Amino acid sequence: KGAKWIGYFNNLPDFDGVIRHTALTMRVGERYYPSLDASLAAVALGLGPQDIIPIAQTPEEGSLLESIDFGGKVRAPVDGRGLMAINYLGKDRTFENYSVADIMDGRKDAELRGKIVLVGATAQGTFDQRITPLNKITSGVETHANVVENIVSGRFLRRGLAVDLAEVALALLGALGFAFLFARVKVRHVLAVLAICVVSVWTASSLAFWAGYEVFAALPLAELGSMFVLVTVYRYATEEKDKRQLRKAFQLYLNPEVMEEMLEHPENLQLGGREDELTVLFSDIRGFTGISEKLEPDALVHLLNEYLSPMTEIVLRRRGTLDKYIGDAVMAFFGAPVQTAAHAANGCDAALEMIETLQRMRERWRIEEPSLPRIEIGIGINSGPMVVGNMGSSQRFNYTVMGDKVNLASRLEGLTKEYGTQILVTEQTLIAARKGLNDEGAYTVRELDAVRVMGKEEPVRLFELRRRGPATTEEMPLLDGYARGLALYRARQFAEARLQFDSLLKRFAGDGPSALLLARCDRLLSAPPAPGWDGVFRMEQK
């Protein structure tokens, strides 16, 4: 009875029991009645309850409310039901609490003078406790204090059509963005990206909240989680299927480590056909036709399996791709399907290891299986641009390489017998191998000759690949002597060149390249070449 103004108050929790909104007015019949908080705020603003005017969204009768005007000084935004979002300023006891006893004794008069004071019970036993977004237990009077402070200071959480439209637009864009992001990011980075997205969404929502906008942070977070689950399930289903297909297609002729690298980075894999800088290797058993005629079928199969198994393991261990077996021949290439700058070096290392392994195999066969024939192999290696990809019919195809560079490597393998060497490489391979290892002295080689293959005019410099690392003291005289003989040969000084090669053969009996160039000098001395002879030998056979 002693109050100058009055106001109602209702407890309006959301569906989860949390107090997030408050009704500033209540309509009874044709009149609106202000709440306790609204009346108190009006008095604090120097107004009366009659100055609290509900503002409708449209002039029509029964229109939903847009805001509550406080005498033109403050306009509190509300939703269509007349509910204002409470902008909580902090956790429980953000506002100073005083004991009623202190107030009754007058000990707090100075502190309370000129302040807005709300009187209420704060003890939990009074059952006047509320759940807020910031606290599980908060006294009811604290909620009223936040509402009054919001109105007096104008510190509102605003929500309207613009915010609704912005949330819808951001939800659509976010769904597309999250789906695109999770579909592109690598699997091992997905959780890190998800964490970054969650933090970003939460930070953006917090910034919007501090700017005075009521936003639903749960919406983008739920959307983020949904997109993550959907895209992850989709990627798992599709990528695992693709990986199974790739593993089935490549498991027989790829190193397991290269296989896993290929599956880890499928974006680097192109199976449809492309041109790339690669290295191709051909190896063949010399005189295999004669060997096969002397052996029984089971012994022949045993010999091939004994030989091809370690040779294949070497190719795969050196990150090569086994292309095919052509009878006793092995065709392999390096640098695809997983690209590497060391493709030429890997090919050279594989060839050297194949020769070393064959030597050990021959020694073992001599002791354990003396019935097996002694075999020799020749290896040709070439590097350069070639086409690589799945080639064949719709029923059966092979991942292989094609091109002039491939054909030249095959011809080099055939030339190893003519030159009496084990490994022939081109200048392009030697340059690429040294570049891939960033070491000009990575290999010991001997330049043997320059040839011009059938159908091509550009000469090809041939090198014998002898070992990894520098030359030994024992082989230096051979390398230097052959280089002098080759220089004399190219200078058309065939007699002097012949003497040089003959001297080498006396010291290094059985050196195939010296014997070949010696015989060639004899022919050229008998039938001198034309004046325009450039020292390049023309291959008459493919």
> Could you report the per-residue pLDDT of 329-373, keeping only the tens digit for each?
999 999 988 889 999 999 999 999 999 999 999 999 999 988 888
Q: What confidence score (pLDDT) does residue 278 get?
A: 97
**pLDDT higher than 70, residue 262:** no
Among 343, 354, 251, CA closest to 309? 354
Provide the token pair at 343.
Answer: 């493709």
To the nearest whole percent, how much of the chain has pLDDT over 90? 41
Helix (H) or strand (E) segment spanning residue 139 = strand 138-139
- pLDDT of 272-322, one tens digit each? 678 999 999 999 999 998 999 889 999 999 999 999 999 999 999 999 999
CATH of 272-466, one of 3.30.43.10, 3.30.70.1230, 1.10.10.10, 3.40.50.300: 3.30.70.1230
Of 517 and 374, the one with more pLDDT:
517
Q: Are 391 and 402 in contact (CB under 8 A)?
A: yes
Integer Cα distance of 87 and 107 in angstroms: 32
The answer, yes or no, to whether the previous bond of 59 is cis (omega within 30 of 0) is no
Domain ranges of the chain: 21-153, 161-248, 272-466, 471-542
Among 481, 444, 478, CA closest to 463? 444
**DSSP calls for 195-207:** HHHHHHHHHHHHH
Integer Cα distance of 233 and 240 in angstroms: 10
For Cα atoms 284, 418, 415, give the angle at the middle one, nearest 5 degrees. 50
Of 149-163, 240-254, 442-456, give the range with the top mean pLDDT: 442-456
Provide the token pair at 358.
Answer: 């064959």
